[in-house]
Structure 1
């Protein structure tokens, strides 16, 4: 059975890229079809998914030898774990008691037009009261919790390619 799912790192990186694009498509669906406006932390998580997907796509297109696979694997894991850190912050905000939730900030359009870039990035990474609202759940877990699980799986998939030597081209 294990032989049936044993792929080259190139195929695994391509599958990781497709997974990232699926996550972004789901985010677009929830935003544009379901009408759920993303908060600053949601947008930050999307950017981390995009960055992880780009690392995976470049790795799949490049099809490097072992040294390159290791570099791409570590880079993919770093971007995925950065996204996981953002997701952890988001889940933490959602579990705060209502009296401890930070105040809601201005809309992202306003922030992008009127605040310096450093302040905008700080807001996007720290979150606002909007980020504490749970709009959607599946099996009792919010969207940021599912995104955290996805980031951890992507980081694991990425790092496993370092060990995936048997089937890659040496």
Structure 2
């Protein structure tokens, strides 16, 4: 059976029984491999394209975002050990949701700082009033990772902030890195929510039925 036929068959089954399809999907490895692959793509793009090729040093928020993407990879790897193990699935989903939500928040903060740093100000404009809280934000070269992990000491090239937040001028289709990170985390949320629903639904099947 060709890939096109398989996709067509899958789509037909999904339209007929979406809840059952989600329950079945989250119970197998391919979908979690996609999640791991997506997060790895973001990490490698940041390191090899932005940091090495474009020589854009990562800022404090950048390395925090990179940390959250590593957590998504780790969450997927935990689930991939055995997607049908509910304890592993719980731990993996808990870590994945933490990473996605925290990464989204860091991306929004970075976007605000970037917008404030690139704001065009004239003599009649109150910069601090227009920029809001982001106007007084500053990046540190001494990051504080969750659980006090010294990632900047263990892996300085990947996690030591050497740039300033909001200083980059890279854009694509009118959006900067922070915008694309927000989009990426939103996609993760949209995909993770139905998979989590499918897992919760599989848990209900284990509960004894009431008479």
TM-score range, shorter chain: 0.7 to 0.9
* Counterpart-to-counterpart distance in 1, 2:107 and 2:31: 24
* Counterpart-to-counterpart distance in 2, 1:11 and 1:131: 36
Whose radius of gyration is greater, 1 or 2?
A: 2
| 1:134-155 alpha-carbon deviations (Å, 9 max, x no partner) | 3211111110110111112112
* Counterpart-to-counterpart distance in 2, 1:74 and 1:103: 30
Q: Which residue of 1 aligns with 2:182?
A: 148
| 1:33-83 alpha-carbon deviations (Å, 9 max, x no partner) | 210111111111000110111101211222124675455334312211110
Q: Evaluate the alpha carbon distance shift between residue 86 and residue 104 of structure 1 in structure 2; reply closer, same or farther with a 3 A threshold.
A: closer
Shift, 1:85, TM fit? 0.4
Q: Evaluate the alpha carbon distance shift between residue 51 and residue 105 of structure 1 in structure 2; reply closer, same or farther with a 3 A threshold.
A: closer
Q: Which runs of 5+ in 1 are unaligned?
A: 122-126
1:34-53 to 2 correspondences below 5 Å: 34-53=54-73
Contact kept, 8 Å, 2:72 with 2:99, in 1: the verdict is: yes
Q: Evaluate the alpha carbon distance shift between residue 83 and residue 2 of structure 1 in structure 2; reply closer, same or farther with a 3 A threshold.
A: farther
1:102-141 to 2 correspondences below 5 Å: 102=136, 108=141, 111=142, 130-141=164-175
Q: Evaluate the alpha carbon distance shift between residue 81 and residue 17 of structure 1 in structure 2; reply closer, same or farther with a 3 A threshold.
A: same
Q: Which runs of 5+ in 2 are unaligned?
A: 1-7, 15-20, 122-126, 129-134, 153-160, 206-211
Q: TM-score, normalised by structure 1?
A: 0.73
- The alignment status of 1:18 with 2:37, answered yes or no, reads yes
- Number of paired residues? 156
Q: Which residue of 1 aligns with 2:100?
A: 80
Q: Which residue of 2 aligns with 1:27?
A: 46
* Counterpart-to-counterpart distance in 2, 1:157 and 1:70: 16
Report 1 or 2 for greater relative contact order, CA contacts < 8 Å, sequence distance ≥ 6: 1
Contact kept, 8 Å, 1:77 with 1:154, in 2: the verdict is: no
Q: TM-score, normalised by structure 2?
A: 0.61
* Counterpart-to-counterpart distance in 2, 1:66 and 1:2: 28
